[in-house]
C-alpha cells in the first residue's frame, strides 16, 4: 500500500475544520480522482501528501513511513518521491521551458550530464519539442501545464499529485492534458488528482474519492462513479 490515512483530522489555528476523521488507502499504480465542492478538504488532503500540512489527529503513512513523525530534515526525501502540478502551473517566468524543467533536477543536486540527457526526453514526452527556448509567457495555458507536468516528472516520482490541473484550461486542452496523465499512469506512476470537473471524471472511469465537509462521502472503484 502506497498511501494510508488513518482517522485523519485537521483543524486550522483559526478554528476551521478542514478534515474530519478521514481514512483511506491508495495503492501503487492507481489513478484516483479527489472530488468535492470547494472547502470540502481536497486541498488540505493534497497538502498533507507532501507534508506542507500535518494532521491535528490521526496518522498518515506514505510508502510505510509516517509523515507525522517525520523529522524536518527527512522531508526533502519524501518530496523527491513525488511530483506536483498546480492549477496555476507555478512556472518561473524568467526561466525558459528547458530551464524550468532542469530547475527541478538542479535543486536536488542532479548531475549536469543527467540533466542534459533527461530534460530533452521529458520535453519530447509532453509534446513540447521546439519550444525549449520559449518563456512561459509565450506559451498557451495547455503548453504551460505540459511544462509543469514535465517538471513534476523530472525526478521520476512514485506519485504524481495534481491539484486542479485543468482548472484554468478549456475542455479541449483539458482532454489533452488528461490523455497525458493517463499515459503517465499507464507507465506505472500513481496519479492523485483533485478536480471539480464532473464531466471529465465520469468519462475517465477511474476510482473516485468524494469529499464533503471534511469527510469521505463516497469511494467509488474504477468505473462506478456515474453521477
Partner 1 sequence: MILRNFNYFSREAFRSLSRNRLLTLATISTVCICMLILGIAVLITVNASNFMQHLESDVEIVAFIDKSVMPSQVQLIGKEISTIQGVKRVKFVSKEEGLEQLQEKMGNKNLKETIGENPLPDTYEVQAENPHDVPEIARTIEKIDGIYKVKYGQGVVERLFEVTKWVRIVSITVIVLLAFGAVFLVATTIRLAIFSRRKEIYLMKLIGATDWFIRWPFFIEGLVLGTFGALVAVGILALAYNSLINNMQMVFFLPLVVKSEVINRLYLSLVGIGALLGIVGTFISVNRFLKV
Q: Which is nearer to partner 1, 95 or 213 (CB)?
A: 95
Query: Smallest distance, Å, CB 97 to partner 1?
Result: 15
Q: How many CB atoms lie within 10 A of CB 176?
A: 16
79 binds partner 1 (CB under 8 A): yes
Binding to partner 1 in span 143-182, by CB under 8 A: 151, 155
**Interface size with partner 1, residues (CB under 8 A):** 24
Sole window of 4-12, 78-86, 171-179, 205-213 interacting with partner 1 (rule: CB under 8 A): 78-86
Applying the rule CB under 8 A, the residues between 35 and 74 that interact with partner 1 are 50, 52, 73
The residue written with cell numbers 509516517 in the block is 66
Of 98, 194, 181, 197, nearest in space to 139 by CA: 98
User: What distance separates the 2 farthest-apart alpha carbons in the chain?
Assistant: 50
| Segment near partner 1 (CB under 8 A); pick from 34-42, 60-68, 75-83, 198-206 | 75-83
From 3-11, 87-95, 125-133, 208-216, span contacting partner 1 (CB under 8 A):
87-95
Which of 61-69, 103-111, 198-206, 207-215 is the region at the interface with partner 1 (rule: CB under 8 A)? 103-111
Q: Does 114 bind partner 1 (CB under 8 A)?
A: no
Residues that bind partner 1 (CB under 8 A): 50, 52, 73, 75-80, 82, 84, 90, 92, 94, 103-104, 106-109, 111-112, 151, 155
Amino acid at each position: 500500500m502506497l498511501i494510508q490515512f488513518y482517522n485523519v483530522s485537521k483543524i486550522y489555528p483559526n478554528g476551521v475544520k478542514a478534515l474530519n476523521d478521514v481514512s483511506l488507502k491508495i495503492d501503487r499504480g492507481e489513478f484516483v480522482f479527489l472530488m468535492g465542492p470547494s472547502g470540502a478538504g481536497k486541498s488540505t488532503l493534497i497538502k498533507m501528501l507532501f507534508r506542507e500540512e500535518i494532521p491535528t489527529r490521526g496518522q498518515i503513512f506514505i510508502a510505510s513511513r509516517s509523515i507525522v513523525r517525520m523529522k524536518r530534515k527527512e522531508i526533502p526525501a519524501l518530496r523527491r518521491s513525488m511530483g506536483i502540478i498546480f492549477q496555476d502551473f507555478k512556472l518561473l517566468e524568467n526561466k525558459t521551458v528547458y530551464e524550468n524543467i532542469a530547475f527541478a533536477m538542479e535543486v536536488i543536486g542532479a548531475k549536469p550530464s543527467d540533466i542534459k540527457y533527461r530534460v530533452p526526453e521529458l520535453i519530447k514526452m509532453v509534446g513540447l519539442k521546439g519550444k525549449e527556448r520559449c518563456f512561459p509567457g509565450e506559451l498557451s495555458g495547455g503548453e504551460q501545464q505540459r511544462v509543469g507536468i514535465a517538471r513534476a516528472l523530472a525526478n521520476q516520482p512514485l506519485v504524481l499529485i495534481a491539484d486542479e490541473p485543468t482548472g484554468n484550461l478549456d475542455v479541449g486542452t483539458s482532454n489533452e492534458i488528461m490523455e497525458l496523465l493517463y499515459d503517465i499512469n499507464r507507465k506505472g506512476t500513481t496519479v492523485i488528482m483533485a478536480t471539480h470537473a464532473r464531466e471529465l471524471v465520469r468519462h475517465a472511469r477511474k476510482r473516485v474519492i468524494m469529499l464533503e465537509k471534511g469527510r469521505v462521502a463516497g469511494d467509488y472503484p474504477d468505473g462506478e462513479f456515474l453521477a
